[in-house]
Amino acid sequence: MKAQEEVTNILLVGVGGQGIILASEILCAAAMQSGYDVKKSEVHGMSQRGGAVNSHVRFGKKVFSPLIPAGRTHILVAMEKLEALRWAHHLAPGGVIVVNDFRLDPVSVSSGKASYAGDAVERLRAADDRRVIVADGAAGALEAGDLRTMNTLILGVLSNCLPFARKHWQAAIGAHVKKNMLEVNKRAFETGRSLGGCVTPLEQA
């Protein structure tokens, strides 16, 4: 694992309504509890539903900019595959992409003005200077008991790439999800975590 002097950059992307902001809150809480300085940045407002959403999360010994410099993202976490493609250019060489194999048509597609890149995952994999972890978030979340826990499930997948102890993740989830959704979210997280994917990827990055 990298020394704490360096800042780790994680970009979470997806579609408004998918729980990107909640996922980034949990991620930040886990990072804080693991003893890091943390900053995160996102833009609210025009994208309540159906618009593209992104959240920049950075942690390390000391973080200045809340924005990840372009091309310096270590891990791109995409809750939707077209959004992974949209933000793939932000990835640093040797970076990791955690992508939810889930498709949501933007209105530009459904209204016939553009076409959906059905081969998004293949295109992500085409570049060989990165590692792509694909997870079926919908299946896993349904297995856990609620489709809405897709975001927590993907965090579970991501957790294999990060140096935070499981107890910090659990505490972070406990602090940010509603009581009546806690158990199903914990299950979704563990399901995602059990999917494995990467060990110490930050050294490769």
Partner 1 sequence: MATRQEERLIQERKLLLSGNEAAAAAAWEAGVVYATGYPGTPSTEILETLTTYPGVRCEWAPNEKVALEVAAGASLAGVRTLVAMKHVGLNVAADPLMTLAYTGVCGGLVVITADDPSMHSSQNEQDNRNYARFAKLPLFEPADSSEVRSFLKEAYLLSERYELPVLFRMTTRLCHSKSVCQAGSRGETKTPGYQKDFVRNVMVPANARVMRVKLEQKLGRLAGEVESTGLNRLERRGGTGIITSGNVYNYVREALPKASILKLGISWPLPRKAIREFAASVERCYVVEELDPFLETEVRALGINLSETPHPPSHIGELSPEAVSALFDEASSPEAAPAAVESPGTGEIAPRPPVLCPGCAHRGVFMTLKKMKLTVNGDIGCYTLGALPPLESMDTCLCMGASIGMAYGLERALAGDNKTRVVAVIGDSTFLHSGITPLLNIVYNGGRTTTIILDNSTTAMTGHNEHPGSGRTLGGEPAPALDYQALARAVGIRFVATVDPYDVDLFRLTVERALEFDGPAVVVARRPCVLLPQVRGTVKPKVRLDPEKCTGCGACFRIGCPALGQDEETGKCRVNQAFCTGCGLCTTTCPCEALEL
Q: C-alpha dihedral over 63, 66, 69, 71, to 10 degrees?
A: 100
**Distance in angstroms (rounded) separating the CA atoms of residues 44 and 186:** 27
> Which residues, other chains included, contact 190 with Cβ-Cβ below 8 Å and sequence gap of 6+?
156
Near partner 1 by CB under 8 A: residue from 6, 61, 93, 114? 114
Told to check if 155 binds partner 1 by CB under 8 A, we report no
On whether the CB atoms of residues 21 and 110 are closer than 8 A, the answer is: no
Told to check if 10 binds partner 1 by CB under 8 A, we report no
Told to check if 64 binds partner 1 by CB under 8 A, we report yes
Near partner 1 by CB under 8 A: residue from 8, 39, 91, 159? 39
Told to check if 52 binds partner 1 by CB under 8 A, we report yes
Told to check if 180 binds partner 1 by CB under 8 A, we report no
Told to check if 1 binds partner 1 by CB under 8 A, we report no
Chain centroid to CA 165? 18
Helix (H) or strand (E) holding 204: helix 201-204
Backbone angles phi, psi at 60, to 5 degrees: 170, -165
Told to check if 49 binds partner 1 by CB under 8 A, we report yes
Near partner 1 by CB under 8 A: residue from 2, 4, 37, 101? 37
Near partner 1 by CB under 8 A: residue from 10, 23, 82, 155? 82
Told to check if 83 binds partner 1 by CB under 8 A, we report yes
Q: 3-state DSSP: the chain helix, strand, coil percent, rounded to 5?
A: 40, 20, 35
Q: At what angle do helices 182-194 and 150-159 cross, to 10 degrees?
A: 40
Near partner 1 by CB under 8 A: residue from 2, 4, 94, 106? 106
Number of residues that bind partner 1 (CB under 8 A): 58
Q: At what angle do helices 166-176 and 150-159 cross, to 10 degrees?
A: 160
Q: Which of residues 160-179 bind partner 1 (CB under 8 A)?
A: 167-168, 171
Told to check if 85 binds partner 1 by CB under 8 A, we report yes
In the complex, the residues that contact partner 1 under the rule CB under 8 A are: 15-17, 28-29, 32-35, 37-52, 63-67, 69-71, 82-83, 85-87, 89, 104-118, 147, 167-168, 171
